Amino acid sequence: MKVNVTIRAIVICGFCLLCCGRASACDMMGACFNKEVDLSGLFSRFRAISEKRDPDGWGVAFYGDASATVFKEPTRAAQSALAEFLTANKLLRSKILIAHLRAASIGRPAPRNTHPWTRELGGKEYSLAHVGGADKRLWQSVTLGRFKPLGENCAEYLFCHVLAKIDEHRIGTWNKESFTRLHQVLAAVNEVQTTSHLLSDGTHLFAYSSSRGTWLSYVEREMTPAKLGRGQETNEPEPAVGVIVARNGHNLAEPGERWTRIQPGQLAVFKDGELVYASVVTR
């Protein structure tokens, strides 16, 4: 499967990637657990990365149910009163979360150009963030279907393209066959740009590691489940089990943890805190 782009667009993209490679890369984190957990502390550690880099925006998408809740701003996360409020009040409770810190390359700092983005498809609300370089003009040369970007960020064009492909292939249920089809779509994208992605439909966390440049890794971890409502407390709740995914490990590792690298060109899919699919590695 190939992404239908012109030679001129590929040349433009290559130049952009060269320029982006000299700039500070964005940062990205995802989490997937079998129970709702309080991810505020984890996000707080992730947010601290922006004290020295990624000044142009931050965002989180998490799922309380089938609908994604999104907070994002075109400001440095370490200086954001909203980000501080979310962490201090332990409001980031979810089974699935995607977080992003932005170092702008294409598209000025603005809410519309800040990750993550969300769109509805097939009665599910998808969220996406990515790290790596691309060029908006390249993605203007492909069919985006019914999904239209609101901003100028090339990652939003990519998101619309991926959703259009999911729609085109009539993927309504996720299974081994449809995971493989998504991997083919992302691998085709990766032929013309170096990007890693975190995508979720509220049930799965899809993590694609670029075949060149920025890559992702994950670690298995146990956490205390979020507190239940009044009258539903248990004395000794079973721990929540899940995974944390990040670009190059970041500052999220606990002492003694061993992170697993998602190989270049590989798609890993997590559900209820477990790895349910890992594609054959493509390069």
Assess contact for 273 and 282: CB atoms under 8 A: no
For residue 72, being part of any structural domain is answered with yes
The answer to the question of residue 95 being in a domain is yes
Its pTM stands at 0.87
214 in Cβ contact with 24 (< 8 Å): no
pLDDT at position 218, please? 96
- Residue 194's region, left for phi above 0, alpha for psi from -120 to 50, else beta, is beta
Q: Which two tokens stand for residue 107?
A: 């598209």
Cα–Cα distance, 183 to 128 (Å, whole number)? 15
Q: What is the pLDDT of residue 193?
A: 76
Q: Is residue 229 part of a domain?
A: no
CATH classification of the domain holding 24: 3.60.20.10
How many structural domains does the chain have?
1
Confirm whether 234 is domain-assigned: no
Give average pLDDT by consecutive 10-residue segment, the chain, 283 residues: 40 34 71 97 94 93 94 96 96 97 86 95 95 67 83 88 93 95 91 88 96 89 79 70 86 90 95 96 61
Q: Does residue 233 form part of some domain?
A: no
- Contact predicate 26/49, CB 8 Å: no
- Torsion 205-48-134-141 (CA) sign: positive
Provide the CA 22 distance to its chain's centre, in angstroms.
22
Q: How many residues are there in the chain?
A: 283
**pLDDT at position 176, please?**
96
Domain extent at residue 77: 7-224+240-278
d(CA 124, CA 194): 27
Coil, helix or strand at residue 51: helix
| 235 within some domain | no
Q: Select from 87, 96, 37 the least CA-distant residue to 65.
A: 96
Asked whether residue 211 is domain-assigned, the answer is yes
pLDDT at 14: 37
* Cα dihedral value 238, 242, 248, 252, nearest 10: -20
Q: Can you give the pLDDT at residue 199?
A: 98
Question: Does residue 71 lie in a domain region?
Answer: yes
